[in-house]
């Protein structure tokens, strides 16, 4: 991106009407894709009889499993948009799990979430100092941070948790209390001034109508037993989109990842912006880790993140470095994981659903004259269809691997459309181009 192009982008950012048109087209594509997926899900449910595919219980579980991966993906987005590759998200999440659990044990769950954010921010600052100040290779710095977090938090557990009731070298004492949940009145039977309202979405879901009941089940999953922490995490998606694409700070941040020397020539303090971007990235990762130890579980446990930081990076790539895409990728992984936890016999139905999606991707790719993605999608579609037709009971080992297979399928078929920030991972030294 040249100086002229950056100036033009600055002018564009001040024209909300043009941005509204662009966003409305993007929104229309998302609505169309969501509608197609809903129809395919409903067809799959009718063919297989697997009602759990779109049940509100599955959707609620999906949300709880989605949030840590979503926050990890947003952490990667903030960092790479500013030009810093963040392999250390896993380590920042580990910081978040430990500090979040400590805060929830000592002061309560909300303080625990805040302390988790602070712990992740510390990890982000360490990564920023290494990559921005000393120009350490981004991957090496991230891997070192992951190792530091794993060993460091075990040492901290030995100092703080050993000898306390319920605590030990590999886990913390339980939290003081849980973050409350709520049901939306009328939609999911929530209480209104002490009166229990009707559960309209639940009654429609029980009818098992084509598409309508599926939509009701999905919406009820967002309205029944929702944790306030989950709602907070979901609100960070539009907030991230607004900050990055509608504010001057967001423009400076993105320009630092696309063309830092051009941004520097226009007066952007690239080094400062990069520090802020990576620290914010660490805060998101820390919140994801704290969600695991405070909301998903009642305490910190060693190995609690279970590679979710790396999965978050995969959702960021799948989402093409955009918040809405990260949300879609995180929910895809969370959905396949939720089916595995709720009912193993729903996994074959998921294979049929994936074959439908692959067929749709193949048709669209061929229509757009993109043969390689079309061939890949067709091959995956045939593979999953044959698996559905020939396998009556999925082995437990394959069931455990299903979320990862889904992620690999999506990344393989979407790889031709990806555009990372132009300067992500490349070294930058202020004033070098002058």
**What number is the average pLDDT over the span 343-354?**
80
Q: Residue 17 pLDDT > 70, yes or no?
A: no
Confidence at residue 42, expressed as pLDDT on a 0 to 100 scale: 94
Confidence at residue 220, expressed as pLDDT on a 0 to 100 scale: 95
Q: Residue 28 pLDDT > 90, yes or no?
A: no
The predicted model scores a pTM of 0.90
Nearest Cα to Cα of residue 113 among 225, 228, 229: 229
CA triple 354-62-118, angle to 5 deg: 125
Distance separating alpha carbons of residues 34 and 215, to the nearest angstrom: 11
Instruction: Please state which CATH class domain 37-183+225-417 belongs to.
Output: mainly alpha
Q: Residue 254 pLDDT > 90, yes or no?
A: yes
What confidence tens digit (pLDDT) does each residue in 43-87 have? Answer: 999 999 888 889 999 999 999 999 999 999 999 999 999 999 999
**CA-atom Rg of the chain in angstroms:** 23
Least confident of 14-18, 167-171, 181-185, 404-408: 14-18
**What number is the average pLDDT over the span 18-23?**
44
Confidence at residue 419, expressed as pLDDT on a 0 to 100 scale: 84
Q: Model confidence at 414, in pLDDT bands (50, 70, 90)?
A: low
CA 83, 89, 93, 96 torsion-angle sign: negative
What confidence tens digit (pLDDT) does each residue in 285-327 have? Answer: 999 999 999 999 999 999 999 999 999 998 998 888 999 989 9
Confidence at residue 50, expressed as pLDDT on a 0 to 100 scale: 87
Phi, psi of 175 (to 5 degrees): -65, 160
Q: What percent of the chain has pLDDT over 70?
A: 88
**What number is the average pLDDT over the span 130-151?**
95
| Domain regions of the chain by residue span | 37-183+225-417
Spell out the long-range contacts of 14-18 with Cβ–Cβ below 8 A and sequence spacing 24 or more: 16/246
Strand partners, 171: 168, 301
Least confident of 35-39, 46-50, 341-345, 423-427: 341-345
285, 117 contact by CB (below 8 A): no
Exposure letters 298-310 (e unless 16+ CB within 10 A, then b):
bbbbbebbeebbb
Distance separating alpha carbons of residues 229 and 297, to the nearest angstrom: 13
Q: Model confidence at 427, in pLDDT bands (50, 70, 90)?
A: confident
**What number is the average pLDDT over the span 357-369?**
86
Q: For 367-384, give the DSSP string.
A: HTT-HHHHHHHHHHHHHH
Q: Residue 393 pLDDT > 90, yes or no?
A: no
Confidence at residue 417, expressed as pLDDT on a 0 to 100 scale: 67
Would you give the DSSP letter of residue 180?
Answer: P
Nearest Cα to Cα of residue 139 among 429, 425, 419: 425
Q: Residue 342 pLDDT > 70, yes or no?
A: yes
Distance separating alpha carbons of residues 91 and 80, to the nearest angstrom: 17
């Amino acid at each position: 991106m040249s100086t002229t192009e950056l100036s033009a982008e600055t002018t564009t950012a001040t024209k909300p009407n043009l941005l509204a048109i662009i966003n409305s087209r993007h929104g229309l594509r998302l609505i169309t894709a969501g509608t197609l997926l809903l129809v395919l899900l409903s067809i799959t449910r009718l063919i297989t009889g697997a009602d759990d595919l779109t049940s509100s219980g599955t959707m609620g579980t999906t949300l709880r499993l989605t949030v840590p991966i979503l926050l990890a993906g947003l952490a990667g987005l903030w960092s790479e948009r500013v030009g810093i590759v963040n392999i250390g998200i896993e380590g920042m999440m580990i910081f978040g799990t430990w500090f979040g659990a400590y805060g929830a044990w000592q002061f309560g769950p909300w303080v625990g979430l805040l302390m988790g954010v602070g712990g992740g921010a510390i990890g982000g600052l360490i990564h920023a100092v290494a990559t921005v100040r000393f120009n350490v290779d981004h991957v090496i710095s991230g891997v070192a941070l992951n190792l530091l977090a794993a060993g460091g938090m075990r040492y901290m557990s030995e100092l703080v948790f050993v000898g306390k009731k319920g605590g030990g070298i590999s886990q913390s004492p339980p939290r003081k209390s849980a973050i409350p949940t709520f049901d939306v009145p009328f939609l999911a039977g929530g209480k209104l001034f002490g009166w229990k309202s009707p559960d309209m979405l639940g009654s429609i879901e029980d009818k098992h109508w084509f598409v309508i009941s599926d939509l009701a089940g999905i919406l009820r999953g967002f309205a029944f037993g929702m944790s306030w922490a989950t709602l907070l995490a979901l609100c960070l998606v539009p907030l991230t989109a607004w900050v990055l694409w509608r504010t001057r700070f967001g423009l400076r941040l993105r320009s630092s990842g696309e063309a830092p020397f051009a941004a520097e020539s226009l007066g952007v303090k690239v080094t400062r912006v990069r520090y802020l971007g990576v620290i914010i990235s660490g805060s998101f990762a820390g919140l994801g880790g704290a969600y695991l130890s405070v909301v998903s579980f009642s305490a910190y446990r060693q190995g609690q993140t279970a590679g979710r930081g790396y999965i978050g990076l995969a959702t960021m790539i799948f989402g093409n470095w955009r918040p809405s895409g990260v949300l879609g990728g995180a929910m895809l992984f969370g959905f396949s994981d939720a089916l595995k936890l709720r009912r193993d016999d729903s996994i074959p139905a998921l294979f049929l659903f994936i074959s439908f999606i692959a067929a749709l991707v193949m048709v669209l790719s061929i229509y757009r004259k993109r043969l390689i993605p079309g061939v890949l999608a067709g091959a995956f579609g045939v593979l999953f269809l044959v698996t559905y037709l020939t396998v009556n009971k999925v082995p437990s080992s394959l069931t455990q691997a299903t979320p990862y297979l889904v992620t690999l399928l999506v990344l393989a078929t979407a790889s031709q459309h990806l555009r990372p920030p132009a300067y992500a991972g490349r070294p930058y030294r202020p004033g070098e181009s002058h």
